Amino acid sequence: MAPSPTILAKTVLRNEAATRAVAAELSTVLKAGDIVALDGTLGAGKTAFARALINAMPGVVEDVPSPTFTLVQTYQRGDAEIWHFDLYRLEVPEDAFELGIEDAFADAISLIEWPDKLGGYLPSRHLRITLAQDGESDTRTLEIIGDATWRDRLADLKNMDILSG
């Protein structure tokens, strides 16, 4: 039986700089085959988080647009390949296979906005980042949810001040 996911960290992000800091910290532990599910409502900061994570990895800072219309964008960052998916417009989960999502799951770091659109195809080994906008402000509540494997991998990050909330 697979380990159950639990909340590994919860914090309040006061501004976009705090979001970038958490994304940068997370980027240091990601490797090929990792799946990060970015969850939250429209405007919660999923794309901002993905943009910060991608640009925190080795390489030249680049424009990271939302893949809302293309559904997927790929980036080469140092030795890592990153596939950034936005599945908001996905009509049925099976359509994700046309995007090459299986290749991304096997060989790249996958950042997936609107992960629930994958239904049962979202691998259970994913790390879920949930962002919730707090009213009309720039403040967000961030939760990191994962299983025991992720808990162990993030142990050093969880002790960082940014995630002590």
Task: Give the domain ranges of the chain.
Answer: 6-163
- pLDDT of 165 higher than 80: no
Token representation of residue 141: 């509540």
Query: Could you tell me which residue, 44 or 129, shows the higher pLDDT?
Result: 129
Looking at residue 139, its pLDDT comes to: 87
Q: Which CATH superfamily is domain 6-163 in?
A: P-loop containing nucleotide triphosphate hydrolases (3.40.50.300)
| Dihedral (Cα; 95, 129, 60, 58), 10-degree rounding | -110
Q: What is the end-to-end Cα distance of the chain in Å, rounded?
A: 31
Structure confidence by residue, pLDDT tens digits, 110-123: 999 999 999 999 99
Report pLDDT digits (tens) over 4-25.
Answer: 889 999 999 988 899 999 999 9
Residue indicated by tokens 């259970």: 124
- For the stretch 56-106, pLDDT in tens is 999 888 888 788 778 999 999 999 999 999 999 999 999 999 999 999 999
DSSP code of 3? P
Burial code (b: 16+ CB inside 10 Å, e: under 16) for 26-54 equals bbeebeeebbbbbbbeeebbbbbbbbbbb
